[in-house]
Amino acid sequence: MLKTFRIGGIHPAENKLSAGKKIVNAALPAQVMIPLAQHIGAPCQPIVKKGDKVKVGTLIGKSVGFVSANIHSSVSGTVNKIDKVMDASGYKRDAVIIDVDGDEWEPTIDKSDTLKRECNLSSKEIIEKIAGAGIVGMGGATFPTHVKLTPPPGLKADTLIINGVECEPYLTSDHELMLEKAEEIFVGTEILMKAVDVKKAVIGIENNKKDAIARFTEISKSYPGIEVQPLKVKYPQGGEKQLIEAITGRQVPSGALPISVGAIVQNVGTTFAVYEAVQKNKPLFERIVTVTGKEVKNPCNVRARIGTPIKNLIEIAGGLPDDTGKVISGGPMMGKALPNIDIPVSKGSSGILIIPYSEAKRKAMKDCIRCAKCVNVCPMGLNPTLLMDLTEFQIWDRAEKQKITDCIECGSCSYTCPANRPLLDYIRLGKGKVTGIVRARKN
Amino acid sequence: MENKLIVSPSPHIHSGDSIPKNMYGVLIALIPAFLLSLYVFGLNALILTLASILFCVLFEYFISKFLLKIQPTINDGSAIITGVLLAFNVPSNLPIWILAIGALAAIGIGKMSFGGLGKNIFNPALVGRIFLLISFPAQMTTWPAPVLESATDAISSATVLSQLNLSSALPTLSSMFVGTESGSLGETSEIALLLGLIYMLWKKIITWHIPISILVTVAIFTAILYIFDPQPQYNPIIHLASGGLMLGAIFMATDYVTSPLTKKGMVIYGFFIGIITVCIRLWGAYPEGVSFAIVLMNGFTPLINYYTTPKRFGEKQNG
Amino acid sequence: MNVILTAVAVLCVIGAVSSAILYIISQRFKTIEDPRIEQVQEALPAANCGGCGFPGCNGFASAIVKSDTMDGFYCPVGGQTTMDNIARILGRTADVSTKKIAVVRCNGSCEHRPRTNIYDGAPNCAIAATLYGGDTGCSFGCLGLGDCVDSCLFDAIHINPETMLPEVVEDKCTACGACVKACPKNLIELRKQGPKSRRIYVSCMNKDKGGVARKSCEVACIGCSKCQQVCPFDAITIENNLAYIIDDKCRLCRKCVPVCPTNSILELNFPPRKEPKEETAKAEA
């Protein structure tokens, strides 16, 4: 009996079209547009200006305040300008635009491929290095990692969980990374264990990645304290709270942080970036992106520099198919549909999914038939049809009592609804409204 | 040629589930019961069922288009289900004109007067049945004998429940479960209905909570009475096997629109349906109580929905 | 006969006892309310729209009776007449307030502002606004999904199906402010209605640089400041590449409208202008 989370969940078709495709390096673009807001928290302050020369790994944006992250150049060349560019948020925001010239890296970066296991830094030094390297959650949430590794006073973790689940259909970037950089991920795990002072780490992997589970289980024998846990294939197993429940059996209480049940979760991509930052002095400036879709000629996993326009990656996968309907940054359940393909790759771009026109348009919405399927599949135990009604009628106090702020926006409700009601659209709106009301009340 | 990209909030895929898929699934689940009703009651069963479907669909179409002036939604299958369930609730010798009135009551009063699918409070088929029961008590309670038993049909014979009511001799259990006893069109074969339940559970059209809580409540309530006073009228197995209980528990009480949304709510709903059914059967004037029990609890569904919530993530602490 | 008499007697007794109980309870739990509150409430239009800032007409009536002054109280639906009536009831004098009207500061119709993608989400402006900048190149402009229409209690704003922009019905708008609050892009503003319902305003909220704004929409404000230079009353400010006409300073002289290179400034309910040919002929003569 594989471990899993108890409430709700769905089983969308996996469509892992790019599974087994080895990671290819994307060619350097002629120009990159590096957004200054690629993370949760305050956008960076640019510290370069037009005409400055930069190398790969040069700090170009300084974090502002605690919940923020540094941003580094992903190319060598000259800063063209700092201007507003449309990024994955759907709005134009400040970005550093750099004309690419060669591929010269900062001399402090160790470019070698040899595995370096030993780390003699203290916990504080590790976290400082992670902060300096601008590492954020690479599963898509982009929460600054050094903030997550610094729990509020009084709270301490007893388990580190590494998220190798990748429950979204189509995406395989984490899977490939686990196959190609397995040992590095284990060293990264050890480093993180030291950073938060825990003796136990569990790497959770969904059971549809049997090769990764086998490889990791083999390697775990030489890494005491780190175990590998295969998990039942169910969406959203990769959600932080669901993963913690599956592995430790504990449910994070409503409104509380995972650290309150003694768990800290990090994505495998983040863990690998931590390894590179701490052991190789390499800041975060590139990531693996899955380019996929039913009509894509060559679904693949690409290592791309931050700031590369998405259309370059689509070219590597065989070009934009003729009857493209939607281009999505991320997976089909929680990813963001993009209005054009000039948008640059950012730290949270886990995948580019192209949905054909015939499948892209939503079906017409009908009245709610009270079938309660949305209630059955909600992993947080909410009542989505009620929350949608409360939002439409703007009954915020009852929406708050019905725990609308607990919603993790996984999309299971809208996916399941036989009446094609846009449940998550309204719940997201209501959640934002109620969060604002709660925050205003506290002040 | 480049299309404009389509932009919408997530999620961007859908399960493919739709209202017609669920409605037609219920119809497939009703096929075993329908086939058995043909076998037991003969041609009348076919005529009544088809007539009922026709009347329900036509009434819904005309009321939607000309009275309410909204887009008719007859192709989602819900009117067809109301038709089938209404037919299954009446004796096989019911005159067609009475059935038509029942269909008008079911669709017109029970469904469209509230605004159509999704808005009604009471189960339309049961509204139709109760309307007919009260308006035409004689025709609705004369049950023809099963066709197999006699060469000529339309001999009225007592159902198991009315026999219990009158404390007369009882048929064997196996005939009750298979369905060769007298009764309304769809209610007689428990096995056929249970097959339908299994199909609906497998296809995830309904969950087990409502049917099981009704049947378990009836079984336990009558069992308790039976322990104190072992009369046939308290026998739990006879209660489970007779009358419209199985049909009601599996197909009528589980109607999406009129039943609660949360699992807690569904169990409470089923529990009270069971209690009220047994009370009416044993101490009420009518031999059968399921229809009244379900319609009564339909009225409580909004209240149940208001006061129950699903099991929240993070409520209990383990580990 | 006896049965009937008994029945009648019993019913009479029940009636009498119930009336007595009701009377006692109503006296016991009576609240004494200032009678002027009800008088003021009668004078109000009973729309319960919240445009005054109070919860319903009763809320407004209670608040104004309890307050010492008429300051800060205005019913936009009833307008000056209602405020004068209330002042009379309370023995005070009402301030003279200007009549306002809702103004939609976007003229990016389908014709002026081409659509660059297709929005397929729920038909709600707030939802679309959290998703992205909209289905055109201008991320400040109207999304056309009608949150303002849904919020209006007076049927005074509708989306024109050809332009996909909201249009205010002049004689129905009460300037209650509901649409202003509802628009997630802050496009709607309450401005002075002016004599003969005339008004002049910059019909754009685009803060992008001029070139970028103009590429997305033909009638965008490019922040060129020609209007500011020509205004004799110092009523126009330019901030973030966007011009704004200050309501209080504007005298409706119309000088700014023709100089705008993108026709971004709109003038409503004015007589048509004289032909420029006539003016050149005059100059030559």
ipTM rounded to 2 decimals: 0.93
Tell if the CB–CB gap between B5 and A383 is shorter than 8 Å. no
Q: Partners of A206 in the beta sheet?
A: A231
Given a cut of 50, is residue B146 above it in pLDDT?
yes
pLDDT at B145: 67
Q: Mapping DSSP to helix (H, G, I), strand (E, B) and coil, where does residue C88 land? A: helix
Query: How large is the average pLDDT for residues A189-196?
Result: 96
* pLDDT average, residue stretch C150-160: 93
C-alpha radius of gyration, chain B, whole number = 21
- Cross-chain residue pair C133–A362, CB shorter than 8 Å: no
Backbone angles phi, psi at B257, to 5 degrees: -70, -35
Instruction: List, as ranges, residues 185-244 from B with C-beta within 8 Å of A.
Output: 204, 207
C96-145 confidence digits (pLDDT tens): 777 889 999 999 999 999 999 999 999 999 999 999 999 999 999 999 99
Residue A184: is its pLDDT beyond 80? yes
Q: Do A339 and C131 touch (CB under 8 A)?
A: no
What is the rounded CA–CA span in Å between residue A97 and residue A77?
Answer: 10
Domain spans, chain C: 36-90, 100-268
Kindly report which listed range (A214-228, B109-123, C27-41) carries the lowest average pLDDT score. C27-41
Q: Rounded mean pLDDT of B143-153?
A: 55
Report the pLDDT averaged over residues A16-43. Answer: 95
- Interval A287-314 mean pLDDT: 96
Does the CB of B137 have a partner CB in chain A at under 8 Å? no
pLDDT tens string A127-170: 999 999 999 999 999 999 999 999 999 999 999 999 999 999 99
pLDDT at C185 over 90: yes
pLDDT confidence of residue B147: 62
Percent of chain B as helix, strand, coil, to the nearest 5: 60, 0, 35
| pLDDT classification of B171: cutoffs 50, 70, 90 | low
- Classify residue A222 by its DSSP letter: T
Domain positions in chain A: 1-23+107-361, 24-100, 373-442
Q: Answer whether C44's CB lies under 8 Å from C57's CB.
A: yes
- With 80 as the cut, is the pLDDT of residue A240 above it? yes
Q: What is the pLDDT of residue A147?
A: 95
A116 conformational bin, left if phi > 0, alpha if psi -120 to 50, beta if neither: beta
Regarding predicted confidence, which is higher, A234 or C97? A234
Q: pLDDT band for B155, please (50, 70, 90 cuts).
A: very low
Of C120, C127, C131, Cβ closest to residue B6 = C120
A24-100: CATH architecture: Beta Barrel (2.40)
Test A324 with B5 for CB contact under 8 angstroms. yes
Report the distance separating Cα B299 and Cα B121, nearest Å.
6
Reported pTM = 0.90
Percent of chain B with pLDDT over 90: 61
- Are residues B312 and A367, on separate chains, in Cβ contact within 8 Å? no
For chain B, give every domain's residue range.
21-307
Query: Which of A333, A359, A403 comes nearest B11 by C-beta?
Result: A333
CATH 1.10.15.40 fits C36-90, yes or no: yes
Residues A320-333, mean pLDDT to the nearest whole number:
95
Q: Tell me: pLDDT of B319 over 50.
A: no
Which pLDDT score is estimated for A78?
Answer: 96
- Chain B residues near residue A370 by CB distance under 8 angstroms: 118, 256-259, 261
C177, pLDDT greater than 60: yes
Q: Each residue of B1-59: pLDDT tens digit?
A: 467 999 999 999 999 999 999 999 999 999 999 998 888 888 888 999 999 999 999 99
Interface contact B5-C118, CB threshold 8 A: yes
Q: And the tokens for C259?
A: 């100089």
Q: C118 forms bridges with which residues in the sheet? A: B6
- What was the pLDDT predicted at A23? 96
Q: In this predicted model, what pLDDT tens digit does every residue of A355-405 receive, in sequence order?
A: 999 999 999 999 999 999 999 999 999 999 999 999 999 999 999 999 999
Q: How far apart are CA C94 and CA C58, in angstroms?
A: 19
Residues 6+ apart with CB under 8 A from A35: A85, A87, A88, A93, A94, A95, A307, A344, A346
CATH value of B21-307 in 1.10.8, 1.20.1440, 1.10.3430, 1.10.12: 1.10.3430
Buried b (16+ CB within 10 A) or exposed e, A154-187: eeebebbbbbbbbbbbbbbbbbbbbbebbebbbb
Per-residue pLDDT at C71 exceeds 80: no
pLDDT band at B92 (very low <50, low <70, confident <90, very high): confident
pLDDT score of B215 more than 70:
yes
Q: What CA–CA distance (Å, rounded) separates C242 from C238? A: 5
pLDDT of C230 strictly over 80? yes
Highest mean pLDDT among A331-340, B37-46, B114-123: A331-340
The residue of C115, C116, C124, C135 whose CB has the most chain A CBs within 10 angstroms, and thus the best one to mutate to test that interface, is: C124
Report the alpha-carbon distance of residue B206 to residue A99 in Å, rounded: 60
The domain made up of C100-268 has a fold known as Alpha-Beta Plaits (3.30.70)
Q: pLDDT-based confidence at A254, cuts 50/70/90? A: very high
A188/B255 Cα distance (integer angstroms): 54
What is the pLDDT averaged over residues C174-199? Answer: 92
Looking at the predicted structure, is the pLDDT value of residue A282 above 70?
Answer: yes
Could you give the C-alpha distances from A152 to A147, A259, A264, A276, in angstroms and in order? 9, 9, 13, 26
Nearest to B242 by CA among B252, B251, B232: B232
Partners of residue B11 in chain C, C-beta under 8 Å: none
Cβ count near A280 (within 10 Å):
18
Domain A1-23+107-361 = CATH 3.40.50.11540: yes
Euclidean distance between CA atoms B115 and B70, whole angstroms = 10
pLDDT band at B174 (very low <50, low <70, confident <90, very high): low
- Between B318 and A133, name the one with better pLDDT: A133
